[in-house]
Amino acid sequence: MNLFNDINTVYFLGIGGIGMSALARLFNHQGLRVAGYDRTPSEITRQLLNEGILVHYEDLGSEISSIVSSPGKTLVVYTPAVPAEHKELDWLKQNKFTIVKRARILGILCSQYQCLAVAGTHGKTTVSTMAATIMSGSSKKCGAILGGISKNFHSNLVLPDNDIKWMITEADEFDRSFLQLSPDIAVITSIDADHLDIYSTVDQIIYSFNEFIGKIRPEGTLLINEKISGKVETQEVKTYTYSLNGNSDFKTENLRLDEVNRCYSFQLCTPGGKTAEITMQYPGLINVENAVAAGAAAWLAGTGLHELRVGIESYLGVKRRFDIRYRGRNTIYIDDYAHHPEELKAFITSVRKLFPAQKITGIFQPHLYTRTRDFADEFASSLDLLDTVLILPIYAARENPIEGVSSAILAEKMKNADHHIVEKSAIMKFIKENPTRVLLTMGAGDIDLLSDEIIETIKHEEKA
């Protein structure tokens, strides 16, 4: 069976995931019948329904036969997050359907283009989305399969035109998915300990990134953050480095912060000395470094400096990545996907640089019992950068509870005296009774579902 030529139906197990939904949209745009299962309704599944994609939320088992076509005409796509005992998955296996991991499908799709793949334990969503913004508005053009909802495209998919040559995607290290890609340009933003349920040691993570580097196509290019260039083996591939202000191939000069709009201006320096003068409208010092990476990747793909500048300056951001949800008279509220200690540290530090004299309150929802257990000390250290901290119960996601692991282990290790373990139901009352200049929500679970209510609570208090 040719995976794409012989099918009329694509069925997704876990269709509401950010990566799965992008592929669902792509196949739907190509005229195939697309349907899928997810555990719970979400904004993404509601959008998919509006786009004509059939979504259901019950494990139908054999009843799925009324939705899928024959085994020879249906492609089933799943992620490692789908449990092995899932009844639909079991029925599809028994009936000899072609069942393929999302990572393999992504690899096949990207092999049809020149591929720009952004890897790294942190930063890949912002860098890939920014690179897509730059290149889609340039003479190079591109399609993109993204890990977040771009505010420029209002989607996690940039539809490829018939004449495009480049496809941009995230290269996810979870479950070693990125080893299905063979990029022409590979970007590595960061390598930190994470996913220790998959990689038992940091050395195993580094080994996997070295394998990813080995997947770069002949005559391809590696772009790597200067801070981690010594961690991996780059001798066999043409390599460029980038940094905020280091001794690297791509970097910034004359970096300055506008005290009025709280955004940065800088010169982006390229090899050979040519520069682009850039004023970002997307805030955060960490995002200046991300802009250097995205600009460098686009430049290596052939984008001109003027196009690069226009693209970065027009970049509006990604939902849940340094996402300023509300800017009021007394309070600014920012939501972020940060769920790893290094991400929290980078996010909070960037916010602190924008508001150095202001009180900052953070609401954090830990993600995964294993991650909370494995990085408890590091989480506590990062959360201590805040003035006041509210810690929600752990969001389990794909895991079962682990005895002795709860949000309390973070609180016990924190040195900041003003921290509280709270349920979601207590948050609005806390916001009303404890005014703050800067409010942050952080986490990869469902904490973002509180955002609208938080905004309404802040507005009500500002009117009072």
pLDDT(336) > 50 = yes
Q: What is the pLDDT of residues 264-277, one digit of tens each?
A: 999 999 998 899 99
- pLDDT band, residue 460 (cuts 50/70/90): very high
Residue 30, C-beta contacts closer than 8 angstroms, at least 6 positions apart: none
Same domain, 177 and 261: yes
pLDDT(119) > 50 = yes
Same domain, 137 and 157: yes
pLDDT at 80: 80
Same domain, 249 and 281: yes
Same domain, 286 and 196: yes
CATH number of the CATH domain containing 34: 3.40.50.720
Residue % of the chain over a pLDDT of 90: 86
Domain boundary among 71, 100, 129: 100
Q: Are 459 and 328 in contact (CB under 8 A)?
A: yes
Q: What is the pLDDT of residues 391-449, one digit of tens each?
A: 999 999 888 999 999 999 999 999 987 999 999 999 999 999 999 999 999 999 999 99
pLDDT at 1: 45
Q: What is the pLDDT of residues 130-142, one digit of tens each?
A: 999 999 999 989 9
Same domain, 37 and 181: no
pLDDT at 82: 87
Give CA–CA dist 335/338, Å, rounded. Answer: 9
Residue 208 lies in a domain: yes
The boundaries of the domain holding residue 329 are: 323-463
- Looking only at the bridges linking them, the beta strands covering 388-391 and 275-279 are unpaired
Tokens of 440: 């942050």
Sign of CA dihedral 97, 100, 106, 108: negative
Mean pLDDT in the chain?
94
Same domain, 300 and 414: no
Segment among 39-43, 147-151, 161-165, 457-461 with least mean pLDDT:
161-165
Residue 3 lies in a domain: no
Q: How many CB atoms sit inside 10 A of residue 451's CB?
A: 17
Same domain, 293 and 334: no
CATH number of the CATH domain containing 267: 3.40.1190.10
Residue % of the chain over a pLDDT of 70: 99
Q: What is the pLDDT of residues 201-237, one digit of tens each?
A: 888 999 999 999 999 999 999 999 999 999 999 888 9
Same domain, 327 and 270: no
Quote the number of domains for the chain: 3
Q: What is the pLDDT of residues 244-303, one digit of tens each?
A: 988 999 999 999 999 888 899 999 999 988 999 999 999 999 999 999 999 999 999 999
* Residue 154 three-state SS: coil
DSSP-assigned states of every residue in 424-452: GGGHHHHHHHS--SEEEEE-SSSGGGGHH
Residue 67 lies in a domain: yes
Same domain, 257 and 368: no
Residue 106 lies in a domain: no
pLDDT at 102: 96
Residue 28 lies in a domain: yes
pLDDT(2) > 70 = no
